[in-house]
Structure 1
Amino acid sequence: MHTDGRLFDPEECAVPDRPEIVCICGSTRFVDEMLAANRDLTFAGVIVVAPGVFLRAEDDDADRLITDEQKTALDALHLRKIDLADRVLVVNPGGYIGESTSREIAYARATGTPVSFNDPG
């Protein structure tokens, strides 16, 4: 504690510039590629926001693991993550972009968030 009773003096803290925030988008079938992009960006000093649930339609028990309401809520949450981001990185090996990712790209562009692709196709 400071002698004047303050717990925190902002002038004493050298706060570095805020790191870039990147939102990862892409099909959950590319979980390994998304995790690799997340790792690489994090090591580069980037704050990463990304999908938190990786269920794929081809998983045998996917329908039992997530409800339609949960899917809708997760989709809306991901749009809020895009709102936080300085840019979006689309993980799209082979150029693949599914319906949800297309919607996220359109949302990012409509809100002025730059979009880049790890496979420009």
Structure 2
Amino acid sequence: MPGRPEIVCICGSTRFVDEMRAANRDLTFAGVIVVAPGVFPRTGDHEADELLTNEQRTVLGALHLRKIDLADRVLVVNPGGYVGESTSREIAYARATGKPVSFTDPV
């Protein structure tokens, strides 16, 4: 593998944790460096609001924008075309910084 591998940032609703993990796996096996959400609060039976404080949400949101900064492109995991509010902000940020954005499903 000559040169630096491509870096892809995965974005999407944390409700799609299984789909994001599958995309991460597929990209990694393809020789891509993947950056993705590190916390998935919706994986348990509790609502995300019960698991994360507002301060933690703010920190995670800012951290994910820095991950987009590191990436060559963004892949939005959006089964059924779903794109939520946070993901919409991330897409707008990526486009504003000149990052190509692609989607797993049509929007």
Q: TM-score range by the shorter chain?
A: over 0.9
Structure 1 residue runs of 4 or more that deviate by more than 4 Å after TM superposition: none
Q: Which runs of 5+ in 1 are unaligned?
A: 1-14
Q: Which runs of 5+ in 2 are unaligned?
A: none
Question: Alpha-carbon deviation of 1:62?
Answer: 3.3
Question: Alpha-carbon deviation of 1:57?
Answer: 9.4
Residue 68 of structure 2 is matched in structure 1 by 82
Higher relative contact order, structure no. (Cα contacts within 8 Å, ≥ 6 residues apart): 2
Residue 63 of structure 1 is matched in structure 2 by 49
Please, which of 34, 37, 54 is the counterpart of residue 48 of structure 1? 34
TM-aligned CA distance change 1:52 to 1:113, over 3 Å: same
Q: Please say which structure displays the higher CA radius of gyration.
A: 1
**Cα offsets for 1:29-83 (capped at 9, x unmatched):** 0000000000000000000000000012984253342110000000000000000
Residue 32 of structure 1 is matched in structure 2 by 18
Q: What's the TM-score once normalised by structure 2's chain length?
A: 0.93
Please, which of 69, 90, 106 is the counterpart of residue 104 of structure 1? 90
Higher helix share: 2
Q: What's the TM-score once normalised by structure 1's chain length?
A: 0.83
Q: How many residues align?
A: 107
Residue 102 of structure 2 is matched in structure 1 by 116
Instruction: Please give the root-mean-square deviation of Cα atoms over the aligned residues, in Å.
Output: 1.8
Amino acid at match of 1:93: P
Amino acid at match of 1:84: L
